[in-house]
Amino acid sequence: MTLQPSLRPLMVAGRPDAPNTLDIFLDFVCPYSAKMARTIDTLVKPKFSPGGEYDGKVKLLFRLQVQPWHSASTLTHEAALAVARVSPENFWKFSLALFEHQDEYFDIPTSHLTPLQIREKLAKLAATIIPADKVEQFKDLLALKSSPNGGVAVTDDLKYNIKYARQNGIHVSPTCLWDGLVANEISSGWGEKEWSEFLKNKIAI
């Protein structure tokens, strides 16, 4: 229910002092995660935003759930973390763009691309979302370090997300936590009715 300072943009709705927390673990190359992200954006997020039904009651945290059996999963998540650094106000917008373009990062479409080529492709997508003067900073954050196995500038942020998921026993996406406990009843197939009933039962007005 907390975030290290560099990951504050992962709170995509609500107020930091809200008494309830909804964590959503999503993978950018998971079709079910994409479905839930769209629902969260259109049906759930507005309820926690200023003027919403549960404004001040719930904060919504997006937890990046890297699934290594998808070869490009790590690279897409690194890109999102880079956007969180250089243009935090556009983190959620870029995340939605990744979900909309996720089929371009599936295993077969990326099988003939090198990691550097995939990162360049991600930079082109980021350039459609973030300010033009931030694109080079974005690319710099995804440039490999001088150490042969040192990762990139956002590797530590990536590790934080992975470690957080591991210590909470999160294995698949999407997975949701309500106030720190896994809410197995939440499904990517939920619509307005299911979400409204869930929140009504969980939140004391």
Q: Could you tell me if 97 and 128 are in contact, meaning their C-beta atoms sit under 8 angstroms apart? A: yes
Predicted confidence at residue 158, as pLDDT, reads: 96
- pLDDT for the residue 205: 53
pLDDT of residue 2: 76
Domain map (residue ranges) of the chain? 5-202
Element containing residue 193 per DSSP (H, E): helix 192-202
76 class by beta-carbon count within 10 Å (0-12 exposed, 13-18 middle, 19+ buried) = buried
As a whole number of angstroms, the distance between CA 113 and CA 118 comes to 6
- pLDDT for the residue numbered 3: 85
For the record, the structure tokens of 198 come out as 């869930």
Q: What is the pLDDT of residue 84?
A: 98
Whether the ω angle into residue 174 lies within 30 degrees of 0, i.e. cis, is: yes
Task: Categorise residue 169: left if φ over 0, alpha if ψ from -120 to 50, beta otherwise.
Answer: left
pLDDT digits (tens, 9 = 90+) for 10-54: 999 999 999 999 999 999 999 999 999 999 999 999 999 999 999
The segments of the chain whose pLDDT lies below 70 read: 1, 205
- Domain range 5-202, CATH architecture: 3-Layer(aba) Sandwich (3.40)
Helix, coil or strand: residue 64: strand
| Exposed / middle / buried, residue 163 (Cβ in 10 Å: 0-12, 13-18, 19+) | exposed
Q: What is the pLDDT of residue 4?
A: 86
Quote the pLDDT of residue 145.
Answer: 84
**The pLDDT of residue 1:** 58
Strands (E), the chain: 11-13, 20-26, 58-64, 175-178, 181-182
pTM for the whole structure: 0.95
